[in-house]
Amino acid sequence: MSTSGRPSVLEVGGMTCDDCARHVTAALEAAGAEGVSVAWRTGEARFSWPEGVTEDALRAEVEAAGYRPGVLRLLGTGLPKQAAEGGFDYDLVVLGAGSAAFAAAIRATEAGYSVALVEQGTLGGTCVNVGCVPSKALLRAGELAWAAGHHPFAGLSTRSGPVDLQALVAQKDELVGRLRQMKYADLVDDYGFTVIPGHGRFAGPDLLEVDGRRVSARVYLVATGASPAAPSVPGLAEAGYLTSTSALELTEVPKRLVVIGANAIGLELGQFFLHLGTEVSFVEVAGRIAPFEEPEVSEALASVLTGQGARIHTDAQVLGVRRGKDHLDVTVRVGARELDLLADEVLVATGRRPNTGGLGLEKAGVGLDGRGALVVDDELRTANPRIYGAGDVTGAPQFVYVSAYEGALAVDNSLLGAGRKVDLTGLPRVTFTAPQIAGAGLTEAQALDAGYEVETSLLPLAAVPRALVNHDTAGLVKLVAEAGTGRLLGASVLAEGAGDVIQSAVLAIRHGITTAELAATFHPYLTMAEALKLASQTFTRDVERLSCCAA
């Protein structure tokens, strides 16, 4: 982008295609704008506005081209003075090539900046390669296998036979490869940024080396993600164990599986193997599974899992793991008792560690916290004003949509001077068990810790018509509201499709909607989404005494 004028952005209405973007580009250039970059999907034109070019001239040319000029904003560079001067190889260099990195690259190239991604592994990062996409593909298969042998409907004769896990994994791998190509590799050419293969390491506060090659940039973004972490357990490393990555590559169904850690990843993968016929034992150091969710959710899901045959050990400490001739022996202390759990495989799902090792961050003046995560401020800037961080490497909530959000925000702040702060109000979370756990905003305990006076409602799925017709009432909805105002602070759902249901609560929390207002909105009958309306009505009414669809 040219720096002879003031970086600016003009909202433009009426654009529907690439030709529209070209027409608007030509119009702005005719008016005297420089370095024009137009994104018709977002309705924005970014350019350098030279002295002597009037706003009226810019607007007139856009109108003459048949489009609607809107708000015109001046942008700062977001860069220290010394970084805004001199020559650089790129405007932005990103370490990593996952969701945060690609969001940043797309935002920056659309604004007219030159971008390079440095990646020593596979394009796409965790989500598409070893996280969301492959795991959810397998989880769905597991759900169908279980449902085939355990449906609740009279008159239907179905059964679930042996599972060819090798075929399932091959299908999963094909899907991963296709999405990696479509959603990552193809976009490199579409947007025109560069991918530099190799390991990036800072050689100083303003210089990066990639396998010995020096690469300079106005701004650097660290978006290297996180990797599975294992606890220090005697014998675990020697005995061998599965992580969330290697568990997705098994081609034979284990007969017995011990899962260490019963939060989202452990619960999802543990139930997947449970659905395929594995004997599964969950071992959790906290007092309940899903320890960061509402206690009512934990209790209800534990009942589902034990009903499907799982064994659950909470308040449990793993003392050691030993490999025998044909099995693994996992010694666990639960209270005053010691248990020996036999397994064919052990899955460790106790969290993920930020990928900050070997980046030379100490030479760049960038700090790490006690967990090894990049320390950033609320604008994603590190202690070095030329270096920003985004996604899992910062210790942010480890969701792909948070990483993408932060990647784009880092560009807005570093290159465009937007001064935006990270805002995770109403952030949704989903655990893809069956039934799903979904939540948004604050739990009751979190709201109390934050100083709110609260009131809550608890609605069992037995009060939800959709659950009744499904013959599946294992679940609940819990809402947390601010006492007095009724403003919704948090929502938790344990139900089929909970991840879809929670989106209404996300909007309600983010925009300060009250439970009374939520109860007054239309919710289609015989959908699980109606559970939010019923739970909202529960604050003031006995929903068991209402007719179907009663307002």
Catalytic residues: 15, 17, 20, 67, 127, 132, 548-549
Cβ pair 341, 332 in contact under 8 A: yes
| b/e burial code for range 415-454 (CB count within 10 A of at least 16 → b) | bbebeeebeeebbbbbbbbbbbbbbbbbbbebbeeeebeb
The residues that bridge with 456 in the sheet, in sequence order, are 480
Phi/psi region, residue 384 (left: phi>0; alpha: psi -120 to 50; beta: rest), is beta
Q: Let me know: does 291 contact 284? Beta carbons within 8 Å.
A: yes
Residues listed for the chain: 551
The whole-angstrom separation of Cα 148 and Cα 163 is: 12
Residue 133, CA distances (Å) to 97, 129, 437, 444 in order: 16, 7, 18, 31
What single letter denotes the amino acid at residue 434?
A: A
Q: Are 509 and 530 contacting, i.e. CB atoms less than 8 angstroms apart?
A: no
In eight-state DSSP terms, residue 2 is -
SS3 labels along 521-535: CCCCCCCCCHHHHHH
CA quadruple 462, 464, 467, 469: dihedral sign: positive
Torsion angle (degrees, nearest 10) of CA 519, 522, 528, 529: -70
